A and B are shown apart, each in its own frame.
Chain A
Amino acid sequence: MADVTNGLEARIALGGSSDLRRFAPALASIIVFGIFCTALPPVAAGETFRFVWPWIPALGIDLSFVVDGLALTFALLITGIGALVLLYTAAYFQKHPGLWRLLTLLGLFELSMLGLVLADNLIVMFVFWELTTITSFLLVGFDHDKADARAKALQALLVTAAGGLVLLAGLILLGALAGTYEASALPALGDMTRGDPMYVVVFALVFVGAMTKSALIPFHFWLPNAMAAPTPVSAYLHSATMVKAGIYLLARLMPALGGTELWFWTLTLFGGTTAVLASVWALRQSDMKLALAHTTVMALGTLAMFLGGGTVYALAGAAAFLVVHAFYKASLFLVVGIIDKQTGTRRIEELGGLGRRMKLTWAITLLAALSMAGVPPLMGFIAKELQYEAALGAASSPFLVAGFAMAANAMMVAIAANIALRPFLGRTTEATAAASEPPFAMWIGPAVLALGGLLFGLFPDVLGDFLVEPTISAKAGEPTEITLKLWHGINVPLMMSVVTLAGGGIIFFAATAIRKRLAAAEAGGLWDAERGYDRALGGLKATAMWQTQLIQNGRLVHYVWWTLVSFAVLLWSAIVIGGGIGVPTLPSLAVVEWALLGLIAFAAVAVPLTQSRTTALLSLGILGAGIALLFVLYGAVDVAITQLLVETLVVVLIAVALLRLPRLRLPRGSAAPGVAWGRLGLSALVGTGVGVGLLAVLATPFDRTITDFYDAASVPDAFGRNVVNVILVDFRALDTYGEIAVVVFAALGALALLRVKPAKEPSGDQA
């Protein structure tokens, strides 16, 4: 009875659907989150957990997973935010027919992401890396009946998967340098990998992989485009998890690759440029979701920049910002989703006066936006102070890092204010007139995340001891202590914060003008990294089209031509590389053999010269029979029988097909004169090539090891005197097995080709 009432209450609270199973994924995620929480105290005390199952021991690849500070921080973000997003999705898509598909994909993505951050073996990590790419492709293209969503999903897939391949090359190289694929073994080998001449290559490959995944310039364009995804997906993938994978990778490999000038400067410059430019682009957006997407790019740039900072403070700044950003960004994404759901628009100029109708939503938004703006006492403030502290001590250039960080943060303040104030204040618009508060399952997620930002801000030690310190200990490769405080006294970072807030305020009030200016500049053809992608894709398609038309244009003659050309090239390269043409010594032949050779040669010449297809066919038969007789003369009876039977059947088959073939000779003058000579030349090349090749093979001394083994083993081991057959069905039966499988599939393919008739052309088209 109690169950029934509980269920009823839940049903009323959650918005009236009867099927509560849709909340099961969220529940599962919460349970996993709880399990990871139990690992917090021991990990904070410096312990790490490692789990290993053998997978491919021959290659040094094991299914090894490790739970250290870095992995645990990510795992908690993934499962915690995952649970809230799954809960939100269950409400947001309550009546959507694709609800279960979305929940399944989100669940699969969550698992892939967990595998990615927990994997210790780099190859295993790469496998999960690609799994996140594939699941995110399916998630971005969730509305697969929209061409736009499909194109953008494909773009995200191509950019991140291409980067994934580059990364794989980098990881394999790194594994070869270090002699191990275990990430946990890399810190000890750091000096060795950094000193290797291949270090630059490894770093470049790994960095490109991280750039594509984490949307750093010039690969940033896919992330805002991936906003074609449903809002909960964006909140999850594009705020807290997937896009952070590149940052995670850099952090994980930092002990092995970091600490060089190259590392400092590359990360600082790419990260800083991305942060500032993305903030400018974010200002330009009037769609709130797109604005948030661009600020995510900004956050990723900032994270990369501080990872490049090199000092402990820089690491702490990155780690704190990682957590902070995940909290406020996921919260804001979900809030934008709520506004979108309740009003039908995300455009900031169409919204106003929501504060009166959605007080709760406004409160959540304000809280999250304050964290984003870095206002005390929220967690965002602490992270920003740490950033400035770190910037002043940056290993690359304090001036540059501090400049980048302040410029980007000032714009963040403006955007946060924009999202938290403009839709909620002012006059009620057409869209907002009927808006109301969302159901519980939708507001609880962002509320928890926004409150988290406040609590961590009030109790910074929790964040510092349990997340930031273990994280940077794992990154730096040694235990590290750092104290997070709200109030450090009046110092330089505080002054910088004040300046940032003031600057943000100015930008906020000038926002509309700035947006117009930026729109005008964009219309003028500024910043077009996406065009490079379009060009590359277009070029790829054009090349594919060109080579398909050249090689596979549907005419059998072309296929044969290109097959023979490739064969001739291979054959002659082998001959030339293998020592050139020796002068063959003609063996002395008996009269019978000469007669047979004459017959074969006569038949071979007759085939191309005859005007009649029947004559050509019979000549081919004679040729085959002549070769079979040669086999008989040399005692290869099995081969001879096979040859004869195949010849017989080929004649039967071609005889049937003969009736369907077009005329043998094209009318005179219909083909270019060069074509016939070209074919003659190719035939001569292939023919002489095979001849010379065979002579070369015969000239080398024959290694009898294998032959002797088969001869000796045939009767005692396989109980057969016919060695040829014993090899076929016993010693090398696996080869035969593969061959007969191919034969069956070839027959089925032929059957399909013959049975499936081409669709009749509409009669109206033909005159």
Chain B
Amino acid sequence: MNSIILLAGARILTPLMLAFSLFVLLRGHNEPGGGFIGGLVAATAFALYAKATSTTATVQALRMQPATVAALGLALATLAGLWGLIGAGNFLMGMWPLLATAADGAKVGLPIGSVLLFDIGVYLVVVGSVLTILLALEDDVAEAERRPEAE
């Protein structure tokens, strides 16, 4: 879409929304948010970018095909599961390498581990899957417009 206003807006909004999506992803464990919502925000950011520029530019901005992003996300989630399987004997068991047990039995340290890895996987799956469908749809429509006789 050739709109200067949209393009200028997207240039500013897309990075902001992406940063915000990461924020939502990370805060999700304690406040409303998480991988799914963060992924949706990021997908919206890229959707805006795709509207303002083109599908090719969006894929370039992603650095890879959106389907690869989705697959990567699934791979990360699997990895998080295997981590629990190897570390604690159960697939997807939460692993907390940065937590230690204090003298009084309380856990101290940074609560980051396999659960966050899993959430990042969810995030990437959502971004990748939504964009896969969206960009394929855009391409399909663009192609149909190029050859109107096909209708």
Contact = CB atoms under 8 A, between A and B. Distances in A.
Interface residues of B, number: 53
A744 B71 contact: yes
B134 A656 contact: yes
A660 B28 contact: no
Nearest to A657: B137
A450 B137 CA distance: 72
A649 B30 contact: no
Interface string A745-758: 01110110011000
B6 interface: no
B29 A719 contact: yes
B54 interface: no
A638 B99 CA distance: 27
A659 B44 contact: no
Given A653-B137, A740-B125, A754-B139, A638 B132 contact: no
Contacts of A755: 136
B105 to A, nearest CB: 10
A563 interface: no
B151 to A, nearest CB: 9
Nearest to A662: B151
Given A645-B37, A740-B121, A751-B133, A722 B30 contact: yes
A320 to B, nearest CB: 56
Nearest to B27: A722
Nearest to A746: B129
Contact of B32 (A638, A649, A740, A750): A638
Contacts of B126: 740, 743
B70 A744 contact: yes
Contact of A649 (B44, B71, B122, B138): B44
Given A719-B99, A721-B29, A737 B67 contact: no
Interface string A83-110: 0000000000000000000000000000
Contact of B34 (A638, A660, A734, A748): A638
Contacts of B121: 740
Given A642-B36, A747-B70, A750-B133, A722 B122 contact: no
Interface in B29-45: 29-37, 40-41, 43-44
A747 B37 contact: no
B107 interface: yes
Nearest to A732: B92
Given A641-B32, A729-B118, A740 B73 contact: yes
Contacts of A747: 66-67, 70, 128-130, 132-133
Given A659-B145, A750-B133, A722 B32 contact: yes
A740 B77 contact: yes
Per CB-CB distance, the 5 closest pairs between chain A and chain B, nearest first, are A719-B111, A747-B129, A645-B40, A720-B29, A725-B34
10 contacts: A642-B36, A646-B40, A649-B40, A649-B44, A718-B94, A722-B32, A725-B33, A729-B34, A737-B81, A744-B129
Given A734-B91, A750-B136, 12 more contacts: A638-B33, A648-B44, A649-B134, A653-B137, A656-B137, A657-B137, A659-B141, A718-B94, A719-B99, A737-B77, A740-B125, A754-B136
Interface of A: 637-638, 641-642, 645-646, 648-649, 652-653, 656-657, 659-660, 718-722, 724-726, 728-730, 733-734, 736-737, 740-741, 743-744, 746-748, 750-751, 754-755
Interface of B: 28-37, 40-41, 43-44, 47, 51, 66-67, 70-71, 73-74, 77-78, 81, 91-92, 94, 96, 99, 107, 111, 115, 118-119, 121-122, 125-126, 128-130, 132-134, 136-141, 144-145
